[in-house]
């Protein structure tokens, strides 16, 4: 999650795709967004390999498997959202629908970014210190 950790709050909002879920399911619109993001991720993996490793059918199945795995992981967490950096700073944020409605897309991204920055600081990883200072000065902590 290195590139995501180095982004400013504004950049983090611009580079994030937020998908809401409820009981492990997503709406058709959210499903479409989730599959688009994961398909780009799978295609990015193929580009880095510099070869056509998979047919369109296998790439679609890979994206479907990734979606199911991520939704399951999000369901198991106690936190209301989960951020996953996919490709060089592009981030997928899965959020519970009730929390997404309450905080809005920007609020969810800011919360996920702030939590990632705090985790990086605790673990001694590089992160955007200015972004964390911004979040701390804003007192973004809203009850979930």
* Residue 59 near residue 87, CB atoms below 8 Å: no
Question: Mean per-residue pLDDT for 117-142?
Answer: 88
Q: What is the per-residue pLDDT across 24-52, written as a single tens digit (0 to 9) for each?
A: 788 888 999 999 999 888 877 777 665 56
For residue 53, the Cα-to-chain-centroid distance in whole angstroms is 25
For residue 30, the Cα-to-chain-centroid distance in whole angstroms is 13
* Residue 131 near residue 12, CB atoms below 8 Å: yes
Q: What is the per-residue pLDDT across 63-98, written as a single tens digit (0 to 9) for each?
A: 899 899 999 998 888 888 899 988 767 899 999 999
Q: What is the pTM assigned to this prediction?
A: 0.84
What's the sign of the alpha-carbon dihedral 123, 126, 128, 130?
Answer: positive
For residue 1, the Cα-to-chain-centroid distance in whole angstroms is 10
């Amino acid at each position: 999650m290195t590139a995501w950790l180095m982004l400013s709050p504004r950049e983090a909002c611009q580079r994030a795709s937020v998908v809401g879920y409820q009981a492990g399911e997503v709406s058709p619109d959210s499903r479409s967004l989730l599959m688009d993001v994961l398909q780009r991720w799978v295609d990015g993996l193929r580009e880095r390999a510099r070869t056509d490793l998979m047919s369109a059918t296998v790439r679609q199945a890979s994206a479907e498997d990734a979606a199911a795995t991520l939704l399951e992981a999000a369901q198991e967490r106690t936190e209301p959202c989960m951020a996953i950096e996919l490709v060089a700073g592009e981030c997928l944020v899965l959020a519970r629908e009730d929390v997404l409605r309450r905080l809005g897309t920007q609020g969810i991204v800011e919360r996920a970014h702030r939590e990632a920055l705090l985790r990086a600081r605790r673990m001694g990883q590089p992160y955007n210190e200015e972004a964390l200072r911004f979040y701390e000065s804003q007192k973004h902590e809203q009850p979930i």
